[in-house]
Amino acid sequence: MTLPVRSDGAYAVAGFTYVAERATAATARLGTARAELSLRAGQAGVYFPATGTGSAMTLTLADPSVDLCVTGVVLGIPAPNTTP
């Protein structure tokens, strides 16, 4: 699937939240950046370094039969949580 994030190649961390019916491995790509992910079952989120240039991130599941719904996606530089 394609996740709509734009990156100019500067250092960034990508992350997305999802709901998955079963655990599965997945590969995220943003330009030349690539991350091998291990997605667990249920409602969860994952973050990873993604320094690449592009207007979208692609997510490929190792097990295409898994039902997975991405519910949010971010790309940027992490900062400490300032909200209580």
Partner 1 sequence: MARAAERGLGWDYLTAPWGPKLLPAGFALAWVVTRIDAYGWELASGALLALQAAASLAMYRLLRVLFGARPLILVPLGLYLFTPLTLPGLLWWAAGLELVPLQLAICMALAAQVHYARTRRIRHVVAVAGWYLFGLASFFLKAAVGIPLLLFLLTSAYLAAGPWARGCWTALRRNLPVWGALAVVLAPAAVLYAVTADTGHQPVRLPGAGETALFAARLLGETFPTTALGGPDTWFGGLVAPSWWGIALAWAVLALYAAATLVLRARVARAWTTLLSYLVVADLLPVLLGRGAFEAQALEPRYVADAAVVFALCAGLTILPVGEETRPYRALPPRGLAVPAVSVVLVGVFLVASYASADAYTGQFAAQRARARGYVEAVRATLAAAPATADVYPQPLPEDVLIYGFGEGNLSSHLLSPLAPEPLRDRMRHPRPTAEPLVLAEDGRSLVRRASSAAMPRPSGGAGASPRRTAR
Closest separation in Å from C-beta 10 to partner 1: 7
Residue 72 binds partner 1, judged by CB under 8 A: yes
Residue 9 binds partner 1, judged by CB under 8 A: no
Closest separation in Å from C-beta 51 to partner 1: 9
Among 5, 7, 18, 33, binds partner 1 (CB under 8 A): 18
State the burial class of residue 39 (Cβ atoms within 10 Å of its Cβ: 0-12, 13-18, 19+). Answer: buried
**How far apart are alpha carbons 11 and 75 in whole angstroms?**
10
Task: List the 33-39 sheet strands across, edge first.
Answer: 2-3, 57-61, 24-30, 33-39
What residue ranges bind partner 1 (CB under 8 A)? Answer: 1-3, 10-11, 13, 15-19, 35-38, 40, 43-49, 59-61, 64, 66-74, 77-83
